[in-house]
């Protein structure tokens, strides 16, 4: 069968996105490990290609391997014993030119074969790469600035907005639809099967909690978030490419435990997944997604003075916590190939 041109464009766009993320790291620092629990950055250059090659060429089409050692190394990495942090050294890994040669050879051999592969496998490979684009972004975020090459548009100043009280919006009782059905296109196994949940009426904030609001919590004695630094009584934020004065109107980046503590202090709660879907079903999407900005923008950036009173930025401008455990839906069946 012929691979749809639109799907091929998505594939190439995903490749370009991850390639550009690697280019943000100075070559001599690609063997750094900014997040102790993760692999060295260079691993992911090979891993993305090894996943595509092992899934499509080796498993699906039974194409002979050209480097089975690297196929396995970049499929799994060098994992530490259970419960321990990685202890490998840079000398345990191939040199960069060999990793890049492996990447290029995989693409050269794989691309002519893509028309022979079912679309669902194409989607698995694309979605796997896009997931790593997210993880690469937060890995690079934690790399020291001297080890990164700033993107040309990265240091532009984002306009700030005057802080204001976030209104509470009434969400009426009703159904939330969670998951998807097979006829709705590709999905991971944890997205099946679609079902509905009855959600009682509740209230939710119009905007995300801001750095400014959380700062008051810190001044009461709470621990500062990971990317905050205090100097001479002034607070700063560790943005992707520069340390900047704490943007008070941007959403705060906290752990689930920190979010729960803040909510409890204010007599509030983290929404469930079903509540989140109820609130987001008619809410507008933020302008800040798909790498349009390297850091969060103001929670007010997408407000519409003439529009209805709805929750803002539930999609985009940062990830969201819910209180629901990450557990299988009814009817869950593991995706065997993944």
Mean pLDDT by 10 residues, the chain (338 residues): 71 94 96 95 97 94 95 93 91 97 97 88 93 94 95 61 83 95 89 95 95 96 97 95 93 96 96 96 88 91 86 92 94 86
Element (DSSP H or E) covering residue 168? strand 168-171
Contacts 24+ apart (CB under 8 A), 11-14: 11/114, 11/122, 11/125, 11/126, 14/126, 14/129, 14/130, 14/133
User: The domain 155-338: what is its CATH number?
Assistant: 3.90.1580.10
Rg (CA), the chain: 22
Homologous superfamily (CATH) of 5-147 is dinb family like domain (1.20.120.450)
- The DSSP call for residue 53 is I
Q: How far is CA 210 from CA 32, 156, 174, in A?
A: 32, 21, 29
The 3 state secondary structure assigned to 297-320 is: CCCCCCCCCCCCCCCCCCCCCCCC
Is the four-CA dihedral 314, 297, 262, 165 of positive or negative sign?
A: negative
Nearest residue to 332 via CA among 178, 128, 124: 178
Predicted confidence at residue 7, as pLDDT, reads 83
Instruction: For the beta carbon of residue 166, count every other beta carbon within 10 angstroms.
Output: 18
Nearest residue to 143 via CA among 47, 27, 46, 298: 27
On whether the CB atoms of residues 187 and 180 are closer than 8 A, the answer is yes
On whether the CB atoms of residues 96 and 27 are closer than 8 A, the answer is yes
Q: What are phi and psi of 112, to 5 degrees?
A: -65, -15
Predicted confidence at residue 155, as pLDDT, reads 54
On whether the CB atoms of residues 194 and 177 are closer than 8 A, the answer is yes
Nearest residue to 126 via CA among 186, 72, 171: 186
On whether the CB atoms of residues 187 and 198 are closer than 8 A, the answer is no
Structural tokens at position 121:
């496998």
Structural tokens at position 227:
């990317």
Q: Are strands 168-171 and 202-205 parallel, antiparallel or unpaired?
A: antiparallel
Instruction: Locate CATH 3.90.1580.10 in the chain.
Output: 155-338
Instruction: Locate CATH 1.20.120.450 in the chain.
Output: 5-147
CA dist., res. 225 & res. 17, Å (int): 28
Counts of helices then strands in the chain (DSSP H, E): 8, 7
Structural tokens at position 307:
């529009």
């Amino acid at each position: 069968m012929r691979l749809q041109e639109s799907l091929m464009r998505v594939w190439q766009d995903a490749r370009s996105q991850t390639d550009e993320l690697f280019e943000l790291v100075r070559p001599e620092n690609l063997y750094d490990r900014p997040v102790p629990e993760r692999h060295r950055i260079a691993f992911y250059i090979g891993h993305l290609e090894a996943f595509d090659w092992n899934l499509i060429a080796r498993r699906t089409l039974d194409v002979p391997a050209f480097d089975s050692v690297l196929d396995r190394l970049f499929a799994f990495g060098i994992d530490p014993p259970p419960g321990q942090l990685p202890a490998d050294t840079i000398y345990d890994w191939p040199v960069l030119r060999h990793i890049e040669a492996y990447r290029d050879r995989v693409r050269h051999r794989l691309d002519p074969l893509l028309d022979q592969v079912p679309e669902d496998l194409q989607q698995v490979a694309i979605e796997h790469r896009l997931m790593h684009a997210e993880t690469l972004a937060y890995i690079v975020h934690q790399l020291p600035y001297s080890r990164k090459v700033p993107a040309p548009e990265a240091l532009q100043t984002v306009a700030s907005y005057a802080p204001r009280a976030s209104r509470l919006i009434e969400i009426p009782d009703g159904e939330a639809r969670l998951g998807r059905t097979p006829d709705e296109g590709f999905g991971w196994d944890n997205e099946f099967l679609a079902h509905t949940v009855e959600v009682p009426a509740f209230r939710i904030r119009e905007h995300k909690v801001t750095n400014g609001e959380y700062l008051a919590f810190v001044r009461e004695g709470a621990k500062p978030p990971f990317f905050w630094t205090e100097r001479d009584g002034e607070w700063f934020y560790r943005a992707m490419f520069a340390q900047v004065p704490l943007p008070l109107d941007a959403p705060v980046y906290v752990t689930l435990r920190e979010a729960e503590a803040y909510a409890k202090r204010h007599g509030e709660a983290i929404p469930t997944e079903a509540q989140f879907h109820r609130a987001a079903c008619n809410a507008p999407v933020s302008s800040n997604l798909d790498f349009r900005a390297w850091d969060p923008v103001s929670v007010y950036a997408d407000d519409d003075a003439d529009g209805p009173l709805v929750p803002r930025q539930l999609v985009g401008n940062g990830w969201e916590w819910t209180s629901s455990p990450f557990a299988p839906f009814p009817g869950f069946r593991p995706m065997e190939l993944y």
